[in-house]
Structure 1
Amino acid sequence: MSDKTVVITGATSGIGLETAALLAKEGFRVIGIGRSGERCHAARKYILEAAPEADVAYLTADLYHQREVLRVALEIHDILAEKGNGELFALINNAGCAQSYYTTSEDGIERQFALNYLAAFLLTHKLLPDLIKGRGRVIMTGSESHKGIRVHWDDIMLTHRYHPLTAYKQSKLCGMLLAKGLNDRYAGMGIRAFVVDPGLVKTDIGDKAGGIVKIVWHFRKPFGISPAVSAQTYGWICRQETHPAGLYYCKCQPCKYSREVTGQNADRLFQLSHCLCGTEQNSEVAQ
């Protein structure tokens, strides 16, 4: 597996860290991304203590901000050109957040939408040439909460009536639509996209949110499973010699997903996302 490179965002704790550790131990070359240089160093040390021969590197980037996404995408591209023949085997868009209050990134994007969805869209867009060359797979961290919600096309940032759970659920639905849109556009080029529902997991995502989200998470978190358990589904998808056929997976099994996950909604979201990121449609392969 040493010739297969996997990029994982949100890889310094929780699901991302355990997935990075699992894949590194199995021989994949792992590039993790985290917001804190100190936590990136600690995460790499944690992985190497369990797998001293692992090929693992960490890059620091605050993916809330588009300039940071663009910067780290260039760094990844350079690493792949040097070590991986320009091929990316898998991109795991795992970075995510929950927020109790309406706040925006420096780009003016509501922060749950910015990190949980739009950063994944932009990073995937910039790494598409490497994914195409590697006939790679894109994996989104999803949630059962994507069901029972629709995209608020008239106010996607929820500026007029913000509710933290609505924003979170919508961001996860958008992640589903990203995977659907990627498959519609690039399956013929060898790329496949998936969404993993990790279930209720004992992570610190809710602890960082403050306010009502932190309070609710305090009561829900003890009932969650270990991140190492959730990591198994990501590992299973990466381990398959041929792309699995499904879109939405939980516990290594395909699951039903929302009826809102349609080609029409994916097309509309892609168009909006290109506008929000200042990127051009149909320009990915030419980069």
Structure 2
Amino acid sequence: MVRGIDLAGRLAIVTGGYAGLGLETTRALCAAGARVVVPARRPDVARSALADLDAVEVAALDLADLDSVRGFAERFLASGRTIDLMINNAGVMACPETRVGPGWEAQFATNHLGHFALVNRLWPAIARDGGRVVSVSSNGHQLSAMRWADVHFTSAYDKWAAYGQAKTANALFAVHLDALGARAGIRAFAVHPGVILTELARHVPRAEQIAAGWVDADGNPNDPNMKTPAQGAATQVWAATAPRLAHLGGVYCEDCDIASHTSAGPLASGVYEHATDPEEAARLWRLSAELTGIDAFSSAA
């Protein structure tokens, strides 16, 4: 993932970097010499999972709580450090209908709005020395474009459509952040890590996992295309560090490469147009700034 790349002296933030893909991402970055800050909703669990890594620090953060996001960002900015790599990895998938904050749908709020607010609040540290921001999307974006008439699913909640919209939002976030951040030398990328069986699937019943072909009757992985967590982490680490991407940005990546557009699927290889549309990305940015009350680019947007 980072063979031949020296990250000594670099600092990375990996949200949820203590389980599944996040843990493997943290391990890879540390192995290349980076220091990694892991914001975690369960700090004690995170510290236990990361106990064997010296160059890691854990801090409390709940992405579904904007006060928690603000508190983490303020504490980090007070340290005066620069963020070289920002990997927005944490998320939830296909959860039962859940409301957070002022009644927001939890998948959109956690996967997108929390990361939107976090990056905007941390922008002074991210923009200081030209780094990269990686937004972990998935081919789940193919399940739903943005539902502008009802982004919070106030009626007819569907857990997979809500997940799809959140993953579309993750991809669109990278598109517009790159457009805004490139002038400061910051590039942003969205990634599909692949199909991996991790704690992310905790809300998906075993019977549904079997029907989808993810696992067999005993709960063992049953999809020949399924990746290990380490294999799944490869693309987000690649997007954060690959020299090939130094002068690119706003692209959707999979299998350690830039993905092509597709209309096959759903859940096919490639990216749908609705997840890379600059106008959709700008519209989402405006909505997100309105909802969260933060926009680091308000004078330039």
Common fold by TM > 0.5: yes
Q: How does 1:122-137 map to 2 (within 5 A)?
A: 122-137=117-132
- Residues 101, 199 of structure 1: CA spacing in aligned structure 2 closer, same or farther, 3 A cutoff? same
Structure 1 residue 26 and structure 2 residue 36: aligned?
Answer: no
Q: Does residue 35 of the first structure (1) align with residue 38 of the second (2)?
A: no
Identity %: 29
**1:259 match:** 273
* RMSD, aligned CA: 1.9
Change (3 A) 1:32 1:170: same
1:216 is aligned to 2:220: no
Alpha-carbon separation, structure 2, partners of 1:148 and 1:113: 14
Distance in 2 of aligned mates of 1:281 and 1:233: 27
Aligned length: 271
Tell me if the contact between 2:120 and 2:296 (Cα under 8 Å) persists in the aligned partners: no
Q: Which of 276, 282, 286 lines up with 2:297 in the alignment?
A: 282
TM-score, with normalisation over the residues of structure 1? 0.88
In structure 1, the residue matched to 2:240 is: 238
Alpha-carbon distance between aligned partners in 1 of 2:49 and 2:247, rounded to the nearest angstrom:
29
With over 3 angstroms needed to count, the CA separation of the structure-2 counterparts of 1:103 and 1:185, relative to structure 1, is: same
Q: For structure 1, which runs of at least 5 residues remain unmatched after alignment? A: 49-53
What letter matches 1:67 in structure 2? D
Is the contact between residue 33 and residue 58 of structure 1 (CA under 8 Å) also seen in structure 2?
yes
Q: Is the 8 A contact 2:16 2:39 kept in 1?
A: yes
More helix by share: 1
User: How high is the TM-score relative to the length of structure 2?
Assistant: 0.84
What pairs with 1:1-287 in structure 2 (closer than 5 Å)? 1-46=7-52, 48=53, 54-79=54-79, 81=80, 86-147=81-142, 149-207=144-202, 209=203, 215-217=207-209, 220=214, 222=221, 223=223, 224-241=226-243, 243=246, 245=248, 247-256=251-260, 257-260=271-274, 261-280=276-295, 282-283=297-298
CA contact (8 A) 2:132 2:187 kept: yes
What is the SS of the residue equivalent to 2:135?
A: strand
Q: CA offset at residue 55 of structure 1?
A: 1.7
Q: Which one-letter code corresponds to 1:220 in the other structure?
A: W
Contact 2:253/2:259 (CA < 8 Å) preserved in 1? yes
Could you say what secondary structure the match of 2:62 adopts?
Answer: coil
Q: What amino acid is the match of 2:254?
A: C
SS of match in other structure, 2:127: helix
Measure the CA separation in 2 of the matches of 1:227 and 1:139: 17
Further displaced range: 245-254 or 191-200 = 245-254
